């Protein structure tokens, strides 16, 4: 208890000493020299998002390559407003501005793109396991309507992952990570520039027993691209990615077990070999060409995905083909900049459920469904710099989503539905000084439900295809970013009035039954996303000390709901603070102590009868660059080995659940030590 008090006091002292608040663009600033092509790409991305009148961020891989980066918690943890709490392996609970709260598992509420094409399936759902952190060059975060030009219409916006090419990275790059829980990961990258082409390839092999029982995982991931210049005015680039993932699932626990026996799992999870195995292959192309005063960008993709997902209630077995593309034209003329675009996605997925495994292999088939989804969005955006200090940004997106559900075992439960929506936005940026911006925007978001929410044939009551409404919201945002002397800051304050928010509650989390989903008539989502980076001390001998802090305030609640009144929404804490010091030494060693603090925990149910305790976790990393392009790191997680609850599977009324149904909690990972070495020949 004394150690926890010291940690909390240290975090508070750092926060108070830097009392200004801010969010991500400048918060995640990385020193660039302008000499590296990769650094220039990241710098250009930062310059681009400074034209966005709202909460945005760019994070280069330099921010996380000297640690064991596995999930969005590791890569985006210091971006305020991004709540990403690990459950197991790469799986996280991802919530941005309340979007994604309806998802107790998998990806939803946020558009996730890699090199311009979506990781999400055609209906908007997806799996985090298809992301290879070892091949990320930089990430871009566009919250809310700021993701419009990337085809995102949801309240959560878009996260854009950019991978290296031979034009932006070193010819060779090798890394190996090892550590607690029998963790092993190796990555090899090679890049070559030839006459009239360039090629990049990366392969990652990983395995880990995991901190908890029944958490073993292994994976092989391949990522490559081939670029061909189209004269001096453009290029075409082909991408190929392959994932072979085998992951056992430890499952959620009761509160008592999660705090007192956090490494355990249920006997049913072991007997049924609960797992999530993914095989996917993705082929895509991105072509850019200068046409007149602007640039045309055309993308196209196809991927095949198979999911084998044994759970205690049954075996989910899916295989689907997904394809799509887009085209955009952006041009600048004087004080005006216009972007026009269209995106199309389609998918055909066979979704089957069999009786539980229990050592007997496939037995009774319980469901056999065909899920077809189609998405079309057309968007336009206009930026007008009508004064050197002022810029007006307006845009609109028109969306149509179609869902066709064919129940092959019960035709009466087959259905189809169409969702049409319009998402306008209007924003303004004012520059009172060269290094400062004030911004404001108002926008409307639109998010149709995915088959995860619509197909509820796996629920005990078997309601079949549920006619849910699309989630809509009007959001207002104001904020500022820039620099005050040596201190870089950004802060965003937002408020969203949401109609028909998609919320999920677990019926029987112990059995792994996916959450039932309903439309909440009216909810209010508001919060503050703030951060600050400050140099604290520099000594003539070469020692420097800097501080970085990220604070997320979430105030999410029902609005006069007939069942829940004005209760708070379950699944995220009210406050989350991450504070990090960076000490550099003249001998090249960098030391980074970090505290993650959630003072009040989160609600576990919408009736607000059960709440998780607050927690504070201490992490510490050490890294250094050796000779001949070799770098090493040591990364310590949860060094005080605190027991805490990192995530919950929300329920409607926890107090009404039977004891056997109260396995709603995910324990935070215990103490772990990881080490890594990176070799970049010639660096």
SS (H, E, C) 28-87: CCCCCCCCCHHHHHHHHHHHHHCCCCCCEEEEEHHHCCCCCCCCHHHHHCCCCCEEEEEE
Q: Which residue has the tokens 């539905």?
A: 417
Burial class (CB in 10 A: 0-12, 13-18, 19+), 641: exposed
Q: What is the spatial distance between Cα 194 and Cα 682, in angstroms, rounded to a whole number?
A: 19
Q: For residue 7, what are the domain limits? A: 2-679
CATH number for the domain spanning 37: value is 2.40.170.20
Q: What is the spatial distance between Cα 150 and Cα 86, in angstroms, rounded to a whole number?
A: 26
Among 47-51, 446-450, 514-518, 638-642, which is the least confidently predicted range?
514-518
Report residue 463's pLDDT band, with 50, 70 and 90 as the boundaries: low
Average model confidence (pLDDT) across the chain: 89
Average pLDDT over residues 546-563: 96
Give the pairing type, strands 615-625 and 315-333.
Answer: unpaired
**pLDDT at position 649 over 80:** yes
Average pLDDT over residues 323-332: 95
pLDDT digits (tens, 9 = 90+) for 257-288: 999 999 999 888 888 889 999 999 999 999 99
- Total domains in the fold of the chain: 1
Report phi then psi at 3, rounded to 5: -65, -40
Other beta carbons within 10 Å of 432: 11
**Read out DSSP for 461-487?**
T--EE--PPPEEEEEEEEEEEEEETTE
Q: What is the spatial distance between Cα 460 and Cα 266, in angstroms, rounded to a whole number?
A: 20
Q: What is the spatial distance between Cα 213 and Cα 673, in angstroms, rounded to a whole number?
A: 18
Contact partners, residue 674, CB within 8 Å, separation at least 6 = 67, 68, 177, 178, 179, 180, 183, 634, 635, 636, 637
Burial class (CB in 10 A: 0-12, 13-18, 19+), 567: middle
Q: What is the spatial distance between Cα 513 and Cα 262, in angstroms, rounded to a whole number?
A: 21
Q: What is the spatial distance between Cα 465 and Cα 456, in angstroms, rounded to a whole number?
A: 6
What is the three-state SS of 558-577? ECCECCCECCECCCCECEEE
- Among candidates 644, 596, 599, which has minimal Cα distance to 620? 596
**pLDDT at position 344 over 80:** yes
**pLDDT at position 324 over 60:** yes
> Which one has a higher pLDDT value, 504 or 285?
285
The reported pLDDT for the residue numbered 2 is 40
Contact partners, residue 287, CB within 8 Å, separation at least 6 = 230, 234, 235, 236, 237, 297, 298, 299
334: helix, strand or coil = coil
Contact partners, residue 445, CB within 8 Å, separation at least 6 = 99, 144, 145, 153, 154, 155, 423, 471, 472, 473, 475, 496
Average pLDDT over residues 32-44: 64
The reported pLDDT for the residue numbered 15 is 36
In the chain, how long is the greatest CA-to-CA distance?
A: 77
Report residue 92's pLDDT band, with 50, 70 and 90 as the boundaries: confident
The reported pLDDT for the residue numbered 458 is 61
Q: What DSSP character marks residue 250? A: -
Report residue 64's pLDDT band, with 50, 70 and 90 as the boundaries: very high
The reported pLDDT for the residue numbered 432 is 95
- Among candidates 175, 172, 134, which has minimal Cα distance to 633? 175
Six token digits for residue 358: 């229990």
> Which one has a higher pLDDT value, 105 or 476?
476
Q: What is the spatial distance between Cα 104 and Cα 10, in angstroms, rounded to a whole number?
A: 33
Please give the helix or strand (H or E) that residue 6 lies within, else none.
Answer: helix 2-17
The reported pLDDT for the residue numbered 633 is 98
Q: What is the spatial distance between Cα 324 and Cα 187, in angstroms, rounded to a whole number?
A: 30
Q: Are 608 and 653 in contact (CB under 8 A)?
A: no
Six token digits for residue 426: 């209007």
**pLDDT at position 673 over 50:** yes
What is the three-state SS of 438-457? EEEEEEEEEECCCHHHHEEC
Burial class (CB in 10 A: 0-12, 13-18, 19+), 599: middle
Six token digits for residue 372: 């077809």
Q: What is the spatial distance between Cα 318 and Cα 309, in angstroms, rounded to a whole number?
A: 8
Q: What is the spatial distance between Cα 79 and Cα 24, in angstroms, rounded to a whole number?
A: 5
pLDDT digits (tens, 9 = 90+) for 612-623: 999 999 999 999
- Among candidates 237, 164, 174, which has minimal Cα distance to 200? 164
Q: What DSSP character marks residue 13? A: H
Other beta carbons within 10 Å of 234: 16
Please give the helix or strand (H or E) that residue 256 lies within, else none.
Answer: helix 255-260
Q: Are 449 and 517 in contact (CB under 8 A)?
A: yes
Q: What is the spatial distance between Cα 215 and Cα 250, in angstroms, rounded to a whole number?
A: 5
Give the pairing type, strands 275-291 and 56-60.
Answer: unpaired
Q: What is the spatial distance between Cα 304 and Cα 280, in angstroms, rounded to a whole number?
A: 5
Q: What is the spatial distance between Cα 350 and Cα 225, in angstroms, rounded to a whole number?
A: 29
Q: What is the spatial distance between Cα 109 and Cα 124, in angstroms, rounded to a whole number?
A: 8
Burial class (CB in 10 A: 0-12, 13-18, 19+), 292: exposed
pLDDT digits (tens, 9 = 90+) for 393-405: 999 999 999 999 9
Six token digits for residue 492: 């965003």
The reported pLDDT for the residue numbered 145 is 83
Q: What DSSP character marks residue 212? A: S
Q: What is the spatial distance between Cα 126 and Cα 158, in angstroms, rounded to a whole number?
A: 13
- Among candidates 261, 1, 40, which has minimal Cα distance to 165? 40
Q: Are 160 and 139 in contact (CB under 8 A)?
A: yes
Q: Output the pTM of the full model.
A: 0.90
Q: What is the spatial distance between Cα 190 and Cα 511, in angstroms, rounded to a whole number?
A: 44
Q: What is the spatial distance between Cα 483 and Cα 481, in angstroms, rounded to a whole number?
A: 7
Q: What is the spatial distance between Cα 370 and Cα 368, in angstroms, rounded to a whole number?
A: 7
Burial class (CB in 10 A: 0-12, 13-18, 19+), 183: buried
């Amino acid at each position: 208890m004394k150690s926890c008090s010291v940690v909390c006091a240290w975090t508070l002292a750092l926060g108070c000493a830097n009392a200004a608040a801010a969010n991500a663009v400048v918060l995640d600033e990385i020193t660039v020299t302008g000499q590296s092509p990769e650094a220039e790409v990241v710098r250009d991305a930062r310059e681009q998002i400074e034209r966005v009148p709202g909460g945005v961020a760019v994070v280069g891989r330099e921010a996380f390559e000297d640690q064991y980066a596995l999930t969005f918690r590791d890569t985006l943890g210091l971006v305020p407003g991004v709540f990403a709490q690990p459950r197991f392996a790469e799986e996280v609970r991802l919530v941005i501005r309340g979007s994604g709260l309806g998802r107790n598992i998998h990806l939803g509420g946020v558009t996730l793109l890699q090199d311009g094409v979506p990781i999400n399936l055609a209906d908007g759902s997806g799996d985090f396991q298809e992301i290879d952190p070892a091949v990320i060059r930089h990430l871009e975060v566009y919250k809310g309507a700021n993701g419009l030009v990337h085809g995102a219409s949801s309240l959560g916006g878009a996260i854009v992952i950019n991978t290296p090419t031979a034009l932006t990275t070193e010819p060779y790059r090798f890394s190996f990570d090892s550590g607690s829980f029998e963790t092993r990961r190796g990555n090899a990258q090679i890049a070559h520039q030839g006459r009239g082409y360039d090629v990049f390839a990366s392969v990652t092999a990983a395995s880990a027993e995991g901190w908890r029982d029944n958490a073993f995982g292994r994976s092989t991931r391949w990522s490559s691209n081939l670029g061909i210049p189209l004269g001096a005015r453009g290029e075409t680039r082909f991408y190929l990615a392959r994932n072979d993932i085998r992951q056992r699932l430890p499952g959620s626990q009761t509160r008592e077990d999660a705090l007192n026996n956090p490494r355990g799992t249920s006997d049913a999870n072991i007997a049924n070999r609960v797992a999530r195995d993914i095989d996917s292959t993705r082929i895509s192309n991105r072509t850019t060409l200068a046409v007149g005063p602007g640039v045309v960008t055309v993308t196209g993709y196809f991927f095949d995905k198979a999911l084998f997902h044994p759970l205690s209630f049954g075996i989910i077995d899916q295989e689907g083909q997904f394809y799509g593309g887009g085209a955009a034209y952006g041009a600048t003329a004087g004080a005006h900049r216009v972007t026009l675009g269209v995106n199309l996605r389609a998918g055909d997925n066979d979704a089957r459920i069999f009786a539980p495994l229990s050592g007997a292999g496939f037995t009774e088939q319980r469901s056999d469904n065909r899920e077809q989804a189609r998405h079309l969005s057309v968007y336009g955006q206009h930026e007008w710099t009508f004064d050197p200090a002022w810029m007006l940004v307006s845009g609109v997106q028109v969306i149509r989503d179609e869902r066709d559900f064919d129940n092959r075992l019960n035709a009466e439960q087959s259905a189809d539905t169409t969702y049409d929506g319009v998402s306008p936005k209007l924003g303004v940026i004012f520059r009172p000084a060269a290094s400062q911006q004030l911004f404001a925007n108002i926008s409307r978001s639109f998010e149709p439900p995915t088959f995860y929410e619509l197909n509820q044939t796996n629920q005990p009551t078997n309601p079949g295809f549920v006619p849910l409404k699309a989630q809509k919201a009007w959001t207002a945002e104001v904020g500022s970013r820039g620099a005050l002397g040596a201190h870089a800051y950004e802060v965003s304050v937002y408020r969203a009035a949401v109609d028909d928010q998609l919320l999920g509650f677990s019926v029987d989390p112990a059995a792994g039954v996916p959450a039932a989903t309903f439309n909440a008539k009216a909810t209010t989502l508001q919060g503050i996303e703030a951060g600050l980076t400050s140099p604290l001390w520099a000594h003539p001998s070469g020692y420097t000390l800097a501080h970085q802090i990220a604070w997320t305030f979430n105030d999410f609640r029902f609005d006069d709901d007939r069942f829940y009144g004005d209760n708070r929404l379950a699944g995220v804490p009210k406050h989350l603070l991450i504070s990090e010091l960076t000490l550099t030494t003249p001998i090249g060693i960098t030391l980074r102590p970090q505290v993650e603090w959630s003072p009040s925990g989160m609600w576990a149910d919408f009736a607000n009868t059960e709440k998780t305790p607050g927690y504070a976790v201490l992490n510490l990393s050490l890294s250094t660059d050796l000779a001949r392009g070799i770098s090493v790191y040591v990364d310590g997680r949860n060094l005080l080995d605190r027991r805490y609850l990192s995530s919950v599977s929300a329920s409607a009324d926890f107090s009404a659940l039977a004891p056997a149904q109260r396995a709603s909690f995910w324990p935070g990972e215990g103490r772990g030590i990881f080490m890594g070495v990176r070799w970049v020949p010639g660096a």
